[in-house]
Each structure stands twice: as structure tokens, then as C-alpha cells.
Amino acid sequence: MSGSNLPYHLRPNKAIERQLFIELLLKINRIRSLSEYVYIGFGGPFLEDFKLIHAYFDNKRMISLEIEPHTYQRQRFNQPLSCIECLNMSSGNYIYSYDLKDNAIIWLDYVEPKKLADQLSEFEFLLGKIQPYDVVKITLNANPEALGDKGNTPEEKRKHRFQVFKSRAGKLLQNVDEHQIDKEQFPQVLCGVLKNVVKTPTVKQNSPNHLFQPLTAFVYSDGPHQMLTLTGILLDQNEVKDFMDNTTIGKWSLAIKEWGPPERINVPTLTLREKMFIDSCLPNSTPHEIHEKINFAFDKNPQKSLEMLENYVKYYRYYTYFSKIVV
């Protein structure tokens, strides 16, 4: 169901995004006891997110959704905590019967671009059912090439991809043209679509005095597929400022106040020696100064190499280094 079949040590950018999610939750935990929340997500065979969330917040109830029987069986074998309930069912079946009375943290970790219409419908229905202070995170495929490669010229391919995306997003796609369906702009287009989901009658009728406030949005890729992830919370309209102030999210440089643009995560893959050297220069050296000190580049294009280093400096506190150990 999710992209978690691939281990995190092969996905450094997603690993950073996962740590940023924890950072956000820690800020929310200042005013809300997240240990009392139910965590719901797509655990995959390894249930890594569940272990991490529980380690930080000691959640007593966690629910993993998995539609594939073989992955579900691996989940049951690898289940690291007795508080995790593994369900062999689709996200849609769970969401459309959602009646949870407790507050929840929900991560819809979608990966399949062809199912975007269903994913948006599930997101919309869920927002129409959640309670105030529920946290919802959604991950979508933001790779425009996944929309198809039909056409002989770049212009023809762009037009084809726009039509495919338009057919999937439907009325939620507004004020967008085909030139925005490229790698740089497509994540922001998706943010706009999610914003329009929140405006639908289904969502507004649930809590007319509440709004789904976006908190963070990131775009990253650890291979051919670029992904967008957005996290928000349902708040009373009159409590948004106090929430932002009391959690300090309002002052967090990586938070968003509106619907984008998403922050891009694109760090270089580093050896331990490289990481230790760069970290030893931080935080008092600039990326340009560090780039001049090292005698290699992260890309054949010097400017792109510097940009990757700048991105690492931005996220180095969240960078996880994976190493082999003997157990």
C-alpha cells in the first residue's frame, strides 16, 4: 500500500522528512498530549514509522493498514509492539467506515499516481470525519513523468500529462495550465489541489467553525519518483494564532502558513567521513566556505553541487546516517 518496502537507508531524503514530522509533532505535544492519540498509517512490512512514533510519544493504540496479503503477513511477523493493530484492508475501506472517537494522528502515505482520484476522495472524506486537533499527513506522487510519456515532442508530452492529471484531479484543479506540469512546479500544483479539497462542502459541513490548517509541506525524491507530503491540523478558526504561538510552529522556519510552496529536500548521499567533516564546520561556516574546503563535488555541475550542500546544511540536524553493525 505504501512505499515502505524500500528501507530508509536507501531513502535519505524521506528519512529526513520523517524526522521533520517528529519535530512537528513534538511542537504540537507542547499543548496536546499526543500519547493519548491513536496513530494510523501504512506500516509496510517493517513498521518503521510506528516504532519511531511510539518511541517519542508512547502511544497506546496504533493501527496499520495494508491491502496486500503477503505484506500483511510480514507485518504480523515483524510486529514490534503489542499496541499495533495490523489490519488487512484498504485505506478506502477503513476511511469510509471511520468512526474513531479518540484524537488521531493519521498518515496517508500514498504512492500510486494512477489512483490520485481515489486518494483525493479518501482525503476529503476523512477531513469530513476528523475531530478538532486531529493531525493528518498526506503523501502523494509528485512526479509529472508518472502521468505518461505519450507524444513525440516535449510540448506534446506536457499536453498529454496535463490532460491525464486534469482527468484525475477533476474540479479540484483550478487556474492551472500545462506549463506548470513540470518537476519544479508540479508539487505546488498538488498543494493547490489539496487546498481545494479543504474547501469542499464535505469538509466544511463537518466543522463549520473549524479549518484544516496546513503546517508543513515538503517535496523530495530518492530515485525516479518525486513525492509531496503535507501535514495539517483541524483547528477552531479563532484558535489558529494561539496554536501557532504556543507550539512555536509560527516561528519555525520550516513551517508553512499557507498552502505552499513546499520546502525541497535534496541532500547528497554522504559517507561517514564526509558527514563528519561537514558537520565539524557547522554551524559557523557557510555552505560556500565548506564547498571550497572539500576537494570534490556532489555533482558535475558546480552550482548544483553547491545547492546540494546548501540543502544538507539546512537539514543536517535531521540527517540520519545508517551503518552496518554486528548483532
- Here the cell at position 292 is 571550497
Domains and CATH numbers, the chain: 8-265 (3.40.50.150), 272-318 (no CATH)
CA nearest neighbour of 227 among 98, 323, 107, 127: 107
Peptide bond into 214 cis (omega under 30): no
Quick check: 228 pLDDT over 50?
yes
Question: Which residue's entry shows cell 492551472?
Answer: 176
Q: What is the pLDDT of residue 4?
A: 47
Percentage, residues of the chain above pLDDT 70:
97
Tell me the C-alpha distance between 137 and 29, whole Å: 16
Amino acid at residue number 256? I
Q: Bridge-partner residues for 216, per DSSP?
A: 231
84 and 38 in contact (C-beta within 8 Å)? no
Reading the block at residue 159, the C-alpha cell is 499536453
* Whole-prediction pTM: 0.94
The grid coordinates of residue 149 equal: 510519456
pLDDT in tens, 239-254: 999 999 999 999 999 9
Cell of 186: 508540479
What confidence tens digit (pLDDT) does each residue in 264-301 have?
999 999 999 999 999 999 999 999 999 999 989 999 99
Question: By the 8 A CB rule, do 5 and 44 touch?
Answer: yes
